[in-house]
Structure 1
Amino acid sequence: MSPLSEEALNQVPFAGSWTAAQLGDHLAKAYDIMPILTGETKPANRPIDENIEGIKALFLDFSIKMESPKEILPDDGPFEKAELLGRLTTQTQLLISYAQHNDLTPICLAFELPKTGPLTRYEWLSFLAIHTQRHIHQLKNIIQHLGNS
């Protein structure tokens, strides 16, 4: 998102698409998982990465269109570029610090991904990385369309 002007960041690239800024807002909302990570847990009774391949298979299949849960749907905007990038930077730094200083093996009980069940802290952080990969792919498509419009 950094190379885009604030105007381009808030421009709809094609019908039915989010803007690049809305994509960023969606990610910022998705990154807000500290209540899940720090909420109630139980010891893992399975490999701590058991669900990652299934999450990858689903989220990295770019041929399917996914619907966002309403809790993390982006606002309409427009968005200020500096504020949005600041939110994303702050949240990623917080998550990195959490990952470096906490036990990632417990299963989080505060929230479950539909069809997946409860995830370990490691799986939640991996999910965010995979989810981000999906949206980087979308962002590249948005930027390409903006460049061709």
Structure 2
Amino acid sequence: MNKLVNGNLDETRNALVKEITLLNDAQFNSKTDLHKWSIAQVCHHLVLVEKASIKAITWGLKGPNSNQNERKNVPFVLLDRTKKLIAPKIVEPDEGPFEVKQVVDLLNDSRGKLMSFLSTIEDKSILAEKSMKHPALGELPLDQWIEQIYLHEQRHIEQIKEIKITLRCKVKED
């Protein structure tokens, strides 16, 4: 993988872990609304997305080269939080409760598996030649599947920050 992608994966994951490690388990599992995810659930969703992305890239590598060479503006779609994206069932988080340490371990495990998997791809250029359908982005070159992992994580880091602010407000009101 190129250094920029690896750096973005590392930088984004470090920012995510920094956002959650000082929370206690009650804060981590608190919801701002009955129909919204807790911070723990957001993080569990990120673990599930990373695992699903590995599977999608694996399937894509086995398929034929793509006829579709159009690259998507992944940052534009994923970082625009005014547009709600609905998570497919396969990446919907469990209800929990979760412990912060447990989820950090899950995040570390899924990232380790991603990096190990990516290291097995000898010719990285093949990632731009093959594609798989992404639930939110449509047909997506496999190298952009990797890019979407950290961009999706950045999207949810902003959501986590908002949840933390809202939870602080709720505490002050009580």
TM-score (norm 2): 0.72
Within 5 Å, give how 1:39-118 maps onto structure 2. 39=59, 40-44=62-66, 50-51=71-72, 53=73, 55-102=74-121, 103=124, 104-109=127-132, 112-114=133-135, 116-118=137-139
Within 5 Å, give how 1:29-40 maps onto structure 2. 29-32=48-51, 33-39=53-59, 40=62
How far has the Cα of 1:68 moved from its partner? Answer: 1.2
Q: SS where residue 118 of structure 1 aligns?
A: strand
Q: Which residue of 2 aligns with 1:2?
A: 21
The whole-number CA distance in structure 1 between the counterparts of 2:137 and 2:158 is 23
How far has the Cα of 1:15 moved from its partner? Answer: 4.9
Within 5 Å, give how 1:119-138 maps onto structure 2. 119-138=140-159
Q: Which moved more, 1:13-22 or 1:38-47?
A: 38-47
TM-score (norm 1): 0.83
Runs (4+) of structure 1 exceeding 4 A deviation are 44-47
Q: Which runs of 5+ in 1 are unaligned?
A: none
How far has the Cα of 1:88 moved from its partner? Answer: 0.8
Give the total of aligned pairs. 144
Instruction: Kindly report the root-mean-square deviation, in angstroms, between the aligned alpha carbons of the 2 structures.
Output: 2.2
Q: SS where residue 105 of structure 1 aligns?
A: helix
The whole-number CA distance in structure 2 between the counterparts of 1:115 and 1:24 is 19
The whole-number CA distance in structure 2 between the counterparts of 1:30 and 1:118 is 17
Q: 1:138 to 1:115 in 2, by over 3 A?
A: closer
Q: Which runs of 5+ in 2 are unaligned?
A: 1-19
Q: 1:58 to 1:14 in 2, by over 3 A?
A: same
1:26-63 alpha-carbon deviations (Å, 9 max, x no partner): 1111111222222223335565x812x1x222221121
Does the CA-based 8 Å contact 2:85-2:136 persist in structure 1?
Answer: no
